[in-house]
Amino acid sequence: MYDNTEILNEIKKYTSVQDAPLNEPERQYFFMAKLKEVVDKRSEEKGKRLTACVVTFGCQMNARDSEKISGILKVCGYELTEDERADLVLYNTCTVRENANLKVYGRLGRLKNYKEKNPDMITVLCGCMMQEEGVREKIKKSFHNVDIVFGTFNIYMFAELLYMKLIDPDKNATQIMAVKKDYEAIVEELPKDRKYPFKSGVNIMFGCNNFCSYCIVPYVRGRERSRASKDIIEEVKTLAKDGVKEVMLLGQNVNSYGKGLEEDINFADLLRMVNDIDGIERIRFMSSHPKDLSDELIEAMKDCDKVCPQLHLAMQSGSSRLLEKMNRHYTKEDFINLVEKLRKAVPDISLSTDIIVGFPGETEEDFLETMDVIEKVRFNSVFTFQYSKRTGTPAAVMENQVEPSVVKDRFDRLLKLVQSISDENTKDQVGFTEKVLVEEKDDKLPGYLTGRTDKNYLVHFEGCDNLIGNIVDVKIIESKGFYYIGELV
């Protein structure tokens, strides 16, 4: 059951139930019912609704988890706010970069001051950063203002943990630490508060087995775990009934979907199944690892009319020598061949990628290999990163860490090349009419709307608000580099 209204009715059934069921999601429905009673009572005592602020750091999978957390808070009676002086503040953390942790510690200090003014304030931390033991020790030692800590494997337990906290007579003394080491259950039948009513992310798998030598994700998100296809299809059908036109299939490496499942299925099969669902008009997916992008998957991208001609394919480096050190399992030639196959199957595909500059041991020759691929492939957009050491990853202890000034110089040269190619690519789009899913009002240009083409290009154009949520034809009349100006056709 994935429909919010159905879930809400299910929760109401537990209002009079005394004992918490053992099975999930029923157990959480029980605690949501109990939590709502507490929140309603406290709101009455306070003369206004308790408020909650959810702050999300990091990737789209974190954003999807935050939609679940916000959904739980809303059905339990909290009013959502963006103001961190709320009755409950939750940080859904990311830990891909070392400085991400520092940012969170800095902000926790500020929350401490807010708590001094509102002693009943509840501070909650979850997400990838909390999977690190060292972080939890630091929270215990230095941040007593933090009330609840949970991780990436038990997002679904939020209502239970919050209820325990709110009814705990000694609540200011106890800090609830509930971080799991692995999945005990995958629970997606939870209320969700979507950012857009007409588009939604759908988790299809969790975790990663790739262990790229610079990446902390496998250590905080665990081993790959795919959801059964019938659950995914049921969720997408429910979303379509609820007015969703565009779905983003999410996973750390969606291309390896299906591994470990009893049913014999892979990502290409799943794409075809989602493509058959009425009401869905657009399908996107991320993240894709080049080593698992099969011919079968490329065939499915070509055949499925709802799969958007857009793919984010992280290359990271153009040097085969470095790709081996990164533990990426493909070479420069493999990557270029893959792009050629993709462009043969989906000629107008929009390709984006990630590039790391300054990986340990990177030589000028390695860097020029990367520049060579950028020139050959001419990506539509490139996300560029200066290598940053991540404690706990093999690359962090590798020899020949590159001088920061050398990294900066290469980074600037890469940016210059990427920018010049992007300028040419974007100019080529002018004059074409594109199908745009209208997302929202433009907050800078009055009377303008913004939306995205099926290639994921951002377009601003004049139009009425009643177009929001619809797919409309827009002629591209001007390129502004990272976005376009268009006119409604």
| 100 belongs to the binding site for ligand SF4 (CB under 6 A) | no
Q: Counting contacts by CB under 6 A, is residue 28 touching ligand SF4?
A: no
CB of 24 to ligand SF4, least distance (A): 26
Q: Compute the least distance from the CB of residue 373 to ligand SF4, in Å.
A: 18
According to the binding rule CB under 6 A, does residue 95 interact with ligand SF4? no
Q: Residue 480's CB: how many other CB atoms inside 10 A?
A: 11
Q: Any idea which residue has 């009893």 for tokens?
A: 262
Stretch that binds ligand SF4, among 209-217, 302-310, 374-382, 459-467 (CB under 6 A): 209-217
Is residue 226 part of the contact set for ligand SF4 (CB under 6 A)?
no
The single-letter code of the amino acid at 40 is D
Q: Which is nearer to ligand SF4, 205 or 217 (CB)?
A: 217
* Residue whose pair of structure tokens reads 């961190």 in the numeric block: 84
From candidates 175, 210, 256, 429, binder to ligand SF4 by CB under 6 A: 210
For ligand SF4 (CB under 6 A), the number of binding residues is 10
Minimum distance from CB of 62 to ligand SF4 (Å)? 13
CB 194 within 8 A of CB 439: no
Give the residue with the Cβ less far from ligand SF4, 14 or 153: 153
Asked if residue 252 binds ligand SF4 (CB under 6 A), the reply is yes
User: Does 482 contact ligand SF4 by CB under 6 A?
Assistant: no
Instruction: For ligand SF4, give the closer residue by CB, 27 or 289.
Output: 289
Residue among 232, 204, 205, 243 at smallest CA distance from 4: 243
Segment contacting ligand SF4 (CB under 6 A): 7-15, 117-125, 204-212, 401-409? 204-212
Q: Which is nearer to ligand SF4, 395 or 438 (CB)?
A: 395
Location of structure tokens 């591209």: 476
Considering only 165, 199, 245, 289, the residue that binds ligand SF4 (CB under 6 A) is 289
Asked whether the bond before 25 is cis by omega within 30 degrees of 0, the reply is: yes
Structure tokens at 83: 């103001």
Stretch that binds ligand SF4, among 129-137, 212-220, 295-303, 359-367 (CB under 6 A): 212-220
Q: Which is nearer to ligand SF4, 34 or 312 (CB)?
A: 312
Between 162 and 201, how does the x/- string for binding to ligand SF4 read (CB under 6 A)? Answer: ----------------------------------------
Q: Is 380 in the site for ligand SF4 (CB under 6 A)?
A: no
Q: Answer yes or no whether residue 323 interacts with ligand SF4 by CB under 6 A.
A: no
- Name the residue nearer to ligand SF4 (CB basis): 63 or 485: 63
**Residue 393 engages ligand SF4 in binding (rule: CB under 6 A):** no
* C-alpha distances in Å from residue 110, one per residue of 81, 113, 231, 381: 17, 5, 41, 36
What's the Cα-to-Cα distance from 374 to each of 107, 252, 319, 409, rounded to whole Å?
A: 38, 24, 12, 17
Our CB check for ligand SF4 shows the closer of 34 and 289 to be 289
Least Cβ distance, residue 208 to ligand SF4 (angstroms): 3
Q: Where do contacts with ligand SF4 occur on this chain (CB under 6 A)?
A: 208, 210-212, 215, 217-218, 252-253, 289
